[in-house]
Amino acid sequence: MKKAENSYKKSGVNISLANKLVNYISLLSKKNFKKTKSNSFKQKIGGFGSLFDISNYKIKDPVIVSCTDGVGTKIDLANKFKKFDTIGIDLVAMCVNDLIVQGAKPLFFLDYIAVGKLNFSKTKKIIKGIFKGCKLSDCELIGGETAEMPGIYSKNKFDLAGFSVGLVSKKKILDKKKVNKKDIVLAIPSSGLHSNGFSLVRSILKKNKIPSNLKNELLKPTKIYSKEILILANKNLINSAAHITGGGLVENLLRSIPNNLSLNLDLAKIKIPKIFKWLKSKNISDQEMLRTFNCGVGFCILASEKKITQIKKIFPKSFKPYEIGYISKEKNKVNVFNSLKW
């Protein structure tokens, strides 16, 4: 009998290697469960669906909150510098930081990794980063998908997407309706570029050599704010919040205040890290910087002025919130005072 010449493996898809990766993730997951009080069923990762038991969460009138996101073209720099151990943290952060805007406690996370050709060592590093991000968020990686797609993703290219689910009591939801006139806008520092604006960053890097002291800033993982924000939400210290991502400071803050109130910002108060100052020096306007990058502000909270002292005590020194504006009722929806100090 003539031997079949065609096979799935020859076409570029290695099912055996994918199964090996699933077993690795399953073992990593078991180790993670031993260190945390898991509320999920002790099933082996690799099943058709993932189960999670929410009965242990004694939350009155529980509401489920869900978010999905990716890390954009930051993955291209991860490939360029062959650094894959932190991009998974970015993935979790981009989803979880959206969840906590509404005061939801992150429960679990699922990932999707798409590759042209499965590289076991590289994918292990990405997965480890995802587990670390989940640990920082106090949630669990309970499932996901790794898709090998030859011809769709060339050479060593890959893509990442994530999905997270959280839980919040209906009465504890952070809602823009709770924002009041004279509330203060507090900026929480970012850890750097986070995961936005990298198409512009990459374009600049093609024409400019980045200083050696700033090179590590490019892939610094996104700060996860869940621990601090959930403490504030549970203590009723904040009225609303905003994750500063694509669109920048103004556009994201506007999503977190009522239509009948105005946003007032003093841009001169923003503490701008060196990486943004270097990018700005490459012929980028202030307006473009503010819309494309977080410029040093990764998250914002809106609260009563009398609660600011209590709020600041929750944060470590490197991420201590500071005042950059206030809420009022004006003709203009947005009022910006002063320019960014470069």
What tens digit of pLDDT does each residue of 218-244 get?
999 999 999 999 999 999 999 999 999
Strand order in the sheet with 105-115: 62-70, 158-169, 105-115, 140-148
All residue ranges of the chain with pLDDT < 50 are none
Q: Are 138 and 36 found together in one domain?
A: yes
pLDDT in tens, 246-262: 999 999 999 999 999 99
- The CB-side HSE value for 26 (13 A sphere, CA atoms) comes to 13
Q: Are residues 183 and 308 in the same domain?
A: yes
pLDDT score of 33: 54
Question: Which of 172, 191, 219 is the last residue in one of the domains?
Answer: 172
Structure tokens belonging to residue 293 = 């990058």
Strand partners, 188: 299
Scan for tokens 């100090």, then name that residue: 341
- Please say which residue of 172, 194, 226 terminates a domain: 172
On whether the CB atoms of residues 293 and 196 are closer than 8 A, the answer is yes
144 and 211, same domain (yes or no): no
Phi and psi at 17, nearest 5°, equal -65, -35
Domain coverage including residue 102: 15-172
Confirm whether 3 is domain-assigned.
no
Coil, strand or helix: which one is 102? helix
Number of domains in the chain: 2
Asked if 23 and 165 sit in the same domain, the reply is: yes
Helix axes 120-137, 226-234, angle to 10 degrees: 20
- Residues 198 and 125 both lie in one domain: no
Kindly state whether residue 9 falls inside one of the protein's structural domains.
no
Residue 8 lies in a domain: no
150 and 108 assigned to the same domain: yes
Show the DSSP H helices in the chain as ranges.
15-35, 74-80, 87-99, 120-137, 198-207, 226-234, 248-254, 274-280, 286-292, 308-313
> Looking at the structure, do residues 19 and 164 belong to the same domain, yes or no?
yes
Question: Residues 196, 104: one domain?
Answer: no
Q: What is the CATH number of the domain that holds 326?
A: 3.90.650.10
Q: Which two tokens stand for residue 103?
A: 């005061």
147 and 180 part of one domain:
no
CATH, residue 138: 3.30.1330.10
Does residue 4 belong to any structural domain of this protein?
no
10 Å Cβ neighbour count for 40? 18
On whether residue 105 sits in a domain, the answer given is: yes
Within this chain, do residues 212 and 140 fall inside the same structural domain, yes or no? no
Q: 1 lies in a domain?
A: no
Q: Are 131 and 206 in the same domain?
A: no
Q: In the prediction, which pLDDT does 23 show? A: 72
- Choose one of 172, 189, 209: the last residue of a domain: 172
Same domain, 79 and 197: no
Region label for 251, one of left (φ > 0), alpha (ψ between -120 and 50) or beta (otherwise): alpha
